[in-house]
Amino acid sequence: MTRPPTAAQRRVIDAADPVTGRLRGTESQLAALVKRELAFRHPRPPHDHFLTPAGHRIREETATPAASSPEAAEPAQEPARESSGVFAARIGGEEGIDSGPSRIREVHSAWQGLLELRRMTNPHGVVDRPCAWERTHLVQAAALALEAAGHRPAGADTEGYRVRATPQPEAVAVRGPDAGALRECAATLEQAGWQVGEHTEPRTGARYLLASPQRI
């Protein structure tokens, strides 16, 4: 791509489903995004259009990046806030955690959308392994799997899980308030198609999970 997308194309990109990247627009707009390699047309009916990784990056240019820790075991900086109207899985540490019915419905819908994205983009339509979108959004993907399974994220002053980026490629660190919660998080991630190992931070002795998407 040599030129940035037009204002109309940017509106289509910004309006994409935040989890699946599904696009809505005119045929000419969608065709132009495909030509720029910012979108692709799914080969199976109904032949919807979805953002490519490059399209996702453009969509997130104005979004605050998720916080990450310089080391897997160290506390992370303040996590990014959700953008207005855009779904974001809770990575832990946010203020004003909402666990009401509307949030539960929102998380359920996002998880179902992610499973559909797996079905449409993974070889042979497998849904028990993470897809390419998850590999480029590791923290959000792991956090969504945990939140959708009913695990409670940590609040500003409450205990719960925390998901953070690590220096290791394709790996996130997950912390829990105690050993039992950590084991439950590990079981959830494994069921969602992640490879999980438990580790000890050498300086503090704190236990944490290192999780990576399993390969198909």
Closest C-alpha to 92, from 186, 175, 198, 200: 175
Closest C-alpha to 60, from 70, 51, 48, 50: 51
Asked whether 69 and 165 are in contact (CB, 8 A), the reply is: yes
Report the chain (216 residues): mean pLDDT per 10 consecutive residues: 77 83 88 87 77 78 42 36 59 81 86 88 91 92 96 91 93 95 97 96 92 90
Rounded Cα gap, residues 26 and 19, in angstroms? 21
State the pLDDT at residue 141: 95
Rounded Cα gap, residues 10 and 177, in angstroms? 41
